[in-house]
Structures are given as structure tokens and as C-alpha cells.
Structure 1
Amino acid sequence: MRRRSSMDINRAIRVAVDTGNVVLGTKQAIKNIKHGEGQLVIVADNCAKDVKEDIFYYTKLSETPVYTHQATSIELGAICGKPFPVSALLVLEPGNSAILNVNNEE
């Protein structure tokens, strides 16, 4: 398997945000994970430690895959096309994106 470049991942995130159903923000992501919703969680590299621990705990319970992106929250916000930092996002529906394959290719 070929390793996905960060540009491929960034593009997949952007396409998922534009064409799919994505929840932005740690509070909303955790809330939806607790309800068993979502197919993939993407966490920024600089996400707060306690928040990251909560996300990993709840994703383990709900068996939702997690991908830690090498970008900061500001960069992840820019990738999503938002003018604010995004520490975590939850993909509910990928739309036309191949974002769900990100976790499989690592």
C-alpha cells in the first residue's frame, strides 16, 4: 500500500467538509461519539491533552477510528475552510471523499 501524503489527506478532509456531513469542534465531536454517531474522528496534533484523552476514551468505547493529523488546530481549520481553529472533527457522512480510507493506509 502506498502511504498517503498530507496533501491527499488535506484534500480528503476538505471534500468531506464540502460534500459530506462533518461536525467541527471537540465538544460536538465528543457529544456525537457518546451517541454512537460518526465514522472517523480527526484530531489536530496540538489538541489539548485532556480533550484528546476524552476523545480517545469515547472512541474506544464506540469503536470509532481516530486519526491524529500532523497539522495544528489553526492549520486544520484552514484545511476545513474555516477562519477559526479546529481541534477535532467528526465525519458523520464522508460525501464524495475518500477520508474513511485514511486510517486504513497508515
Structure 2
Amino acid sequence: MSEALFERELKAAAKSGKLSLGARRALKLLLKNQAKGIIVADNAPPDVRKNIESLANINGVPLYVYKGTSADLGSLIGKPFKVSVIAVLNPGDSRILDVLSEGR
């Protein structure tokens, strides 16, 4: 899967869907089984990344490790701050869940 396709679909999901930002929110959503997909920045803290990955694996939620930093991930979705984890709640008009599933 190409990084360009992922970035395009994530931007579309940010515009038309519903995303939740941050590791703590993502963990809570995974525990409640409400997240449909998870995106983790490559430089996320190792303990956070391990917890998110294990919960996503247990719940069968597709997880994608973004090959950029949390600053890159934040700017990709139009935020002026760092974002280490994104939980997809509603993909909107995007195919982000398909892209996440392919990346598994």
C-alpha cells in the first residue's frame, strides 16, 4: 500500500468522518469496542504503542503505523499540534478502513 493513498484517505476521513485524537481516548474507545480503526505515529512512546497494538489486536481492529512523526500526523489532518494516535469512529466518505485493513 502506498503512503500517498493512506494520506489521501486520512484527509478525506478528517473532512467527512469522525476521528478521535490522542492515545488516552483511543485506549478508552478500544476498551469500549467503539474504534473501527487505529493509526499510530511511528514515534509514539513505546509503552503507549504496545498497549494500543495489543488492544487493537485483541478486538480485531485494524491498526496502521504511520511512517512519520506525531507532528507530521497532526499536520496531515490539519491540526497545529502533535497527534500520536488517531482512532477512526466513522470513516465518512473515505475508504480509510479498507486502507487500514490492507496495511495489516
Asked if residue 39 in structure 1 is aligned to residue 18 in structure 2, the reply is: no
Q: Match of 2:49?
A: 52
Of residues 54, 65, 69 in structure 2, which corresponds to 1:72? 69
When the two chains are superposed, the root-mean-square deviation of aligned CA atoms in Å is 1.1
The Cα of 1:29 is off from its aligned counterpart by 0.6
Q: Match of 1:24?
A: 21
Asked if residue 11 in structure 1 is aligned to residue 8 in structure 2, the reply is: yes
Where 1:57 maps in the other structure, the secondary structure is helix
What TM-score, normalized to structure 2? Answer: 0.93
Q: Partner letter of residue 63 of structure 2? A: V
Distance, in Å, in 2 between the alignment partners of 1:40 and 1:104 is 9
Q: Partner letter of residue 82 of structure 1? A: K
The Cα of 1:103 is off from its aligned counterpart by 2.8
Unpaired stretches in structure 1, ≥5 consecutive residues: none
Q: Partner letter of residue 9 of structure 2? A: A
Runs of 4+ in 1 over 2 A off after TM superposition: 103-106
What TM-score, normalized to structure 1? Answer: 0.91
Unpaired stretches in structure 2, ≥5 consecutive residues: none
Equivalenced residues, count: 103
Cα displacement string for residues 2-42 of structure 1 (whole angstroms, at most 9, x for unaligned residues): xx321221111111111101101111011111000111100
Identity, % of aligned pairs? 36
